[in-house]
Amino acid sequence: LGQLWLGGVKVNWSGFYANEQRYRVPLPTYPFERQRYWVESPQTNNREHLQQNLTAPPIWNSVVEAGRIQA
């Protein structure tokens, strides 16, 4: 969807986000305020996701290999 939008396709963003439940989050106005503002992630079982990431080759390997090719 992002690639289409970058290519100039008009996206109905209000329709895309119709089922989203968003709310405003108060953020600090002072940079050294000692309060954290982390967004909590939903508690899910990430075991399958972690196993997939461990078996997949790291993406940076292809970047390193591409950098070694002489032009």
- Over residues 17-66, the pLDDT tens digits come to 888 888 888 877 777 777 777 777 766 666 665 555 555 566 655 655 55
Higher pLDDT residue, 61 or 4? 4
DSSP 9: -
Structure tokens, 69: 């090719």
Question: 3-34 burial by CB neighbour count: b if 16+ within 10 A, else e?
Answer: eeeeeeeeeeeeeeeeeeeeeeeeeeeeeeee
Could you count the other beta carbons within 10 Å of the beta carbon of residue 65? 9
**Which is higher by pLDDT, 10 or 67?**
10
User: Which tokens belong to 42?
Assistant: 């939903």
Query: Beta strands of the chain (E only): which ranges?
Result: none
Name the pTM for this structure.
0.30
